[in-house]
Amino acid sequence: MVSYPKGKIKVLLLENIHKDAYDLFHRDGFDVTLVKDAMEEAELIEKISDVHVLGIRSKTNVTKKALENAKKLMTIGCFCIGTNQVELEDAEKKAIPVFNAPYSNTRSVAELVIAEIIMLARKATDQSRDVHLGKWNKIAKGCFEVRGKTLGIIGYGHIGSQVSVLAESMGMKVIFFDIISKLPLGNASSVSSYEDLLKQSDFITFHVPETEETKNLFRKEHLNLLKNGAYLLNLSRGKVLEIGALVEGLKSGKIAGAGVDVFPEEPKSNDDPFVSPLQGLPNVILTPHVGGSTEEAQKNIGTEVAEKLLKYVNNGSTTFSVNFPNIELGSLKSGYHRILNIHQNQPGFLRDINSIISDLGGNILTQNLSTSANIGYLSMEIDKNLGDELKNKIKAHKHSIRTRILY
């Protein structure tokens, strides 16, 4: 149903995205390239110039400069939960919807959180290292059951709520704080403030997006709010937790242990070195951003995001886009063309388009318009005989950004 031959639509998938995504595009006739590593800005700027569909994970940053050179780019897929690696507003203004996978790896992350809570409570990673080195240090001091302990969850979304259910099934008391009112699951209860959660919790786990509000959400000034011997876990975003404050808390003994999966600066590939002041500290679990890296999660993410991208390219649906007006579109009816237009959100645009159709003597079968502060997204099914002529007139409108026609 696309207006452009699928074999000429170039799809670039970076960061070793699951092969199921590649297969979906390939089977549908697209020209697909799968690349193992992330790309730095300069390389992406060069490669993106003739790409129609871009797929990334968390390490490739789609900057304003990259978008300026993306002359043919129709859509971007973030094959992960987060989308902060894309300049979303700039993408929107250039008529590029961005899609992600907010659900597919939630279980994988939640299970790793629970695993790390138990391992930290038992100092299991330190003891495992000692035994590997031939040191036998059988002790119980400083090792605890998690049953009966209080887990504080910051951010009670898809992952936080799953952590809540798993933790409660193990006998933990669960409290949470979220800036949006959320319905507790099981016996979990919300607290009135972030500070209250820090004061009450034995274990604290962060599950928030990276925003200006969450940057350095945990800082040095929060150390004195913690219980002595509290544990911190961050499997959300690297800039949520101030590393210097965590290091200070660990060295002083205020914090008994930590699990960190995400970092302010991360290597672009597995071949690059990694350095952190957390390395070598006792009872600290460091993992290389693998919270969602299970075979099940990556397969599900590959399918979920690829299907959203294909749906947009093939029929124009923007449902679940994170930066674009959402419209759900069905199959194109026989005898009609579908015109898709993204335009600046200015008064009178729809009136002008309807006047053009009226002057051409055309008939509109369906018409859908959804807007954001910056743009409007218009879908129309019109008589076949008006297709190309109408498309060209709409494209010529002073507020039009991009127009496609589906046959």
18, 52, 57, 289: the catalytic one is 289
111, 168, 266, 328: the catalytic one is 266
Phi-psi region of 123 (alpha: psi -120 to 50; beta: other; left: phi over 0): left
CA–chain centroid gap for 300, Å, is: 14
46 is catalytic: no
CA–chain centroid gap for 259, Å, is: 21
- SS3 at position 20: helix
213 is catalytic: no
Cα gap 48→341, rounded to integer Å: 22
Task: Match 């997204």 to its residue by tokens.
Answer: 377
Q: What token pair was written down for 164? A: 């809540």
Angle of helix 19-27 relative to helix 295-315, nearest 10 degrees?
A: 30
Residue type, 92: E
Cα gap 124→118, rounded to integer Å: 8
Do 24 and 310 form a contact (C-beta atoms < 8 A)?
Answer: yes
18, 107, 207, 237: the catalytic one is 237
145 is catalytic: no
Q: According to DSSP H, which parts of 201-344 are helical? A: 243-252, 295-315
Annotated active-site positions, please? 237, 266, 289
